[in-house]
């Protein structure tokens, strides 16, 4: 079947390859009575040992890719396979009740899962999912069905799935996974952001790739236009192969820019920095000529594990990033958890509006011990590079002053204990709440810098959740209201001699970049793959002209007017 | 039968990671070993059993061992609990 599916262009580039369908296989268990119970028990043990081998391989792979820490969860999975209580329950059902092994295991697992689900703690309830995961693997072995495994892919493929969890995206091996496409998700969903970081072409939100594409179909993923071609014609393949090689040639050209400065045609210099999530990302920041890290999200240290990271673990991670970046600035954002990012082991209360709730600096100021541990780790690491500390979700001046006070307290106590702490660490805030943007002149007297987080600033200014499809059209980076707020923040900071960065999606957007140049933003921080394109664009513009351009845009009425105006004025495709 | 009682001081109680370690230590010994929390007693060689207790910080736990190597077992388990910071040393 030759078909074209339209979705959301989540990560640029063209990928051509065989479809690898990542869908749950049918593991329906049918209960039977068996006569030779001894044979059935042997069959059960054989399936257990096959599942164990598979899990062991996944565990080792996860340890290599994600680190020992993240692989530890698989150790618990492995222990479940040899759990004496579970084994004896299954064996009893086979022996005494003459169940087939699949049904005996399913019944045992169901009882266990129900028990875990009734426990009064969310962390424990989630362990029910682990049991179900392990059970499925054994049942698949008993049924002779294969569970597709993303980490074990060893030929070039394009992944087709309903959605990709962060842990799954992290397991993608770029060598083999050439692209992916999903039924769900949007441009700013986690899987899309990860795809851009990994530079894998991706089309998401197609709503029907898993139901349309069959395993092994030839697929083209056009991540620039948001199109997926199924079993394309010879002509189409040639066309896209041509496009792919052009893109690669262009990429090569851009890579020549990586050691150059970012300067407009009229001689104004800007800094192009990267947003990163883990120390592993630093290598590609440097490969792409990043002049700094404008946003180091520390949440990943806290996620997908079962307890808070220790001061030592955090210290090691921060130190690694600072050391690798050398003298280049690294802006570390303190813990921004809550909202959509939940940590099961913290047992945070469920909220009606988590994005407007107990999160980020609010949580850190309430759970001071947790915050102080992070601050200590940061301060101890500060000696190894050019550290700047930034607090997220600041809404009031009191919040900033309190956070700064805690930081200074920890600094003094560390120094008393004989730790070396860098002097003059710049302390800044994210501007993502309108109240803070409006009082930017007052904040500018207290902080060393601002970083504008446009993803949230736009949502809060427009009062629209960008993940909600019905109102996502209100996510309007070019709306004059947003541009005016950004201008207020930049002007207020410059009046006090402070610098302003931007670490939201907008900083890497080719339509927004000329406007931000005109508003005199100092630092552009973006996903790694956008950096060279942004630098190339800035190098070809004149700031004096962009000032005129943005002056006009600030007076326009709609986001669409601004977008069309910039596109036409600068001839952007 | 030998018994030891402890108070859990680990911030997140006995969750998957410490439970995994505990079970691994327990399975090295031949004797029967049990852990009790809030009047519920389970096999310490069963990860599912230990996790089902959901032991939080501040919980009081008792370890029972019965069999030839019961003293070695209790000693081994205690040194694990202490070295992992699950109970005070």
Q: State whether A396 and A418 are in the same domain.
A: yes
- Rounded CA-CA distance A290/A51 in Å is 44
B24 lies within 8 A of chain A by CB:
yes
Enter the pTM of the model: 0.64
Give the gap in angstroms from C-alpha B55 to the nearest C-alpha of chain A.
Answer: 10
For residue B7, the cross-strand partners are B60
Tell me if A258 is assigned to some domain: no
Which helix (H) or strand (E) element contains residue A426?
Answer: strand A426-431
* Mode of pairing for the β-strands spanning A157-161 and A177-182: parallel
What angle, rounded to 10 degrees, do the helices at A37-66 and A68-81 form?
180
> CB-based burial of residue A290 (10 Å sphere; 0-12 exposed, 13-18 middle, 19+ buried)?
buried
Return left, alpha or beta for A274; rule: phi > 0 is left, psi -120 to 50 is alpha, else beta.
Answer: beta
- Determine whether the interchain pair A307/B10 forms a contact, defined as Cβ–Cβ distance below 8 Å: yes
A229, A108: one domain: no
The CATH code belonging to domain B2-84 is 3.30.1340.10
Using one digit for the tens of pLDDT, what is the confidence trace for A528-569? 888 999 999 999 999 999 999 999 999 999 999 999 999 999
DSSP-assigned letter for residue A300? G
Q: Can A190 be counted among the known catalytic residues?
A: yes
**A31 in any annotated domain:** no
The reported pLDDT for the residue numbered A346 is: 81
- Statement to judge: residues A285 and A366 lie in one domain: yes
Task: Tell which of A229, A252, A275 closes a domain.
Answer: A252
Measured between beta carbons, the chain B residues lying within 8 angstroms of A131 are: 48
Looking at residue A147, what is its pLDDT? Answer: 78
| A502 and A295 Cβ atoms separated by less than 8 Å | no
Q: With a CB-CB cutoff of 8 Å, which residues 321-380 of chain A face chain B?
A: 345
Give the other-Cβ count within 10 Å of A32's Cβ. 12
Q: How many domains does chain A have?
A: 3
- Cα distance between residue A27 and residue A106, in whole Å: 10
Verify whether the Cβ–Cβ distance B52 to A116 is below 8 Å.
yes
Domain contains A29: no
Q: Which helix (H) or strand (E) holds A73?
A: helix A68-81
For residue B31, the model assigns a pLDDT of 95
* Residues A104 and A220 reside in one and the same domain: no
For residue A214 the two structure tokens come to 């069959």
Residue A28 lies in a domain: no
Same domain, A366 and A514: yes
Q: Is B48 close to A86, i.e. CB distance below 8 A? A: yes
Catalytic residue among A61, A77, A288, A503: A503
Final residue in a domain of this structure, among A223, A252, A281: A252
Is residue A32 domain-resident?
A: no
* A11 and A94 co-located in one domain: no
pLDDT at residue A541 in the model: 97
Chain A positions touching B16 (Cβ under 8 A) are 72-73, 76, 127, 130, 306
Asked if A138 and A205 sit in the same domain, the reply is no
Asked if A79's CB is within 8 angstroms of B24's CB, the reply is yes
DSSP string, A301-322: GTSSSSSPPPHHHHHHHHHHHH
In a domain, A434, yes or no: yes
Is B12 a residue whose pLDDT tops 60? yes
Residue with tokens 């009425």: A557
A467 part of a folded domain: yes
A135 and A157 co-located in one domain: no
User: Which residues in chain A have Cβ-Cβ distances shorter than 8 Å to B43?
Assistant: 84-85
Contacts of A48 (CB under 8 A, 6+ apart): A81, A82, A138, A141
Minimal C-alpha gap between A116 and chain B (Å): 6
Same structural domain, A66 and A157: no
In this structure, the answer to whether residues A128 and A86 fall within a common structural domain is yes
Q: Which of A143, A164, A197 is the last residue of a domain?
A: A143
Weakly modelled stretches of chain A, pLDDT under 50: none
| Residues of the domain holding A18 | 3-23+149-252
User: CA A483 to CA A488: how far, in whole Å?
Assistant: 9
- Cα of A188 to nearest chain B Cα, Å: 32
Contact across the interface for B43 and A86, Cβ inside 8 Å: no
The whole-number pLDDT of residue A122 equals 66
Nearest CA in chain A to B51: A124
Answer whether A79 sits within 8 Å of B56, measured CB to CB: no
A114 close contact with B: CB closer than 8 A? no
Cross-chain CB nearest to A345 (options B15, B19, B43): B15
**Rounded CA separation A57/A147 (Å):** 14
Domain-located, residue A125: yes
Backbone angles phi, psi at A524, to 5 degrees: -110, 115
> Which residues on B lie below 8 Å from A83 (Cβ)?
46-49
CA A385-A388-A390 angle, 5° bins: 150
ipTM over 0.95: no
What gap in Å lies between CA A393 and CA A362, rounded to an integer?
Answer: 8
B15 is catalytic: yes
Do A125 and A242 share a domain, yes or no? no
Is B54 within 8 Å of chain A by CB?
Answer: yes
Shortest Cα distance, chain A CAs vs residue B71, angstroms? 22
The domain limits of chain B are: 2-84
């Amino acid at each position: 079947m030759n078909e074209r599916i339209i979705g959301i262009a989540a990560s640029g580039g063209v990928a051509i390859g065989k479809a690898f369908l990542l869908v749950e296989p049918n593991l329906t268990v049918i209960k039977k009575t068996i006569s030779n119970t001894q044979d059935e028990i042997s069959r059960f043990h054989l399936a257990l040992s096959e599942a164990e081998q598979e899990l062991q391989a996944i565990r080792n792979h996860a340890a290599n890719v994600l680190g020992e820490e993240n692989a530890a969860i698989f150790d618990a999975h492995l222990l479940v396979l040899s759990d004496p209580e579970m084994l004896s329950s299954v064996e009893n059902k086979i022996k005494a009740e003459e169940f087939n092994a699949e049904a005996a295991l399913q019944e045992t697992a169901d009882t266990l899962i129900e028990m875990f689900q009734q426990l009064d703690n969310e962390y424990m309830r989630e362990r029910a999912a682990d049991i179900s995961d392990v059970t499925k693997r054994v049942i698949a072995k008993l049924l002779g069905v294969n569970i597709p495994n993303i980490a074990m892919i060893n030929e070039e493929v394009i992944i087709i799935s309903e959605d990709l969890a962060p842990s799954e995206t992290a397991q993608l091996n770029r060598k083999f996974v050439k692209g992916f496409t999903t039924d769900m998700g949007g441009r700013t969903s986690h899987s899309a952001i990860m795809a851009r970081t990994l530079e894998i072409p991706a089309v998401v939100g197609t709503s029907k790739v898993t139901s349309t594409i069959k395993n092994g179909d030839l697929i083209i993923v056009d991540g620039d236009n948001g199109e997926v071609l199924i079993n394309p014609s010879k002509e189409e393949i040639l066309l896209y192969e041509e496009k792919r090689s052009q893109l690669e040639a262009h990429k090569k050209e851009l890579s020549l820019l990586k050691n150059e400065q970012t300067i407009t045609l009229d001689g104004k210099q800007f800094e192009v920095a990267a947003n990163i999530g883990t120390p592993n990302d630093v290598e590609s920041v440097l490969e792409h000529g990043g002049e700094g890290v404008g946003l180091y999200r520390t949440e990943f240290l806290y996620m997908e594990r079962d307890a808070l990271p220790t001061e030592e673990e955090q210290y090691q991670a921060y130190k690694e990033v600072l050391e690798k970046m050398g003298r280049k600035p690294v802006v570390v954002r303190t813990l921004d958890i809550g909202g959509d990012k939940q940590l099961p082991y913290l047992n945070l209360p469920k909220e009606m509006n988590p994005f407007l709730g107990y999160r980020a600096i609010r949580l850190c100021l309430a759970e001071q011990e947790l915050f102080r541990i992070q601050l200590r780790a940061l301060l101890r690491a500060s000696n190894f590079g050019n550290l700047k500390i930034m607090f997220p979700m600041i809404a009031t001046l009191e919040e900033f002053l309190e956070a700064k006070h805690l930081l200074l307290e920890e600094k003094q106590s560390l120094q008393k204990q004989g730790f070396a702490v860098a002097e003059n660490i710049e302390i800044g805030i994210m501007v993502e709440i309108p109240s803070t943007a409006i009082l930017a002149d007052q904040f500018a007297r207290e902080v060393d810098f601002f970083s504008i987080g446009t993803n949230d600033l736009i949502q809060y200014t427009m009062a629209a959740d960008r993940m909600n499809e019905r109102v996502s059209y209100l996510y309007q980076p070019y709306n004059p209201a947003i541009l005016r707020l950004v201008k207020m923040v930049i002007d207020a900071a410059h009046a006090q001699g402070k610098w302003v960065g931007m670490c939201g999606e907008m900083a890497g957007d080719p339509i927004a970049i000329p406007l931000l140049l005109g508003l005199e933003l100092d630092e552009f921080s973006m996903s790694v793959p956008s950096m060279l394109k942004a630098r190339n664009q800035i190098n070809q513009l004149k700031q004096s002209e962009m000032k005129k351009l943005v002056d006009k845009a600030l007076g326009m009425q709609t986001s669409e007017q601004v977008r069309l105006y910039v596109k036409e004025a600068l001839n952007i495709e | 039968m030998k018994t030891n009682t402890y108070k859990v001081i680990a911030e997140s109680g006995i969750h998957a990671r410490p439970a995994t370690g505990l079970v691994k230590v327990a399975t090295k010994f031949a004797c029967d070993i049990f852990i009790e929390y809030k009047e519920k007693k389970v096999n310490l060689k069963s990860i599912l059993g230990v996790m089902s207790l959901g032991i939080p910080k501040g919980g009081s736990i008792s370890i029972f061992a019965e069999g030839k190597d019961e003293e070695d077992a209790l000693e081994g388990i205690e040194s694990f609990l202490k070295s992992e910071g699950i109970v005070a040393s």
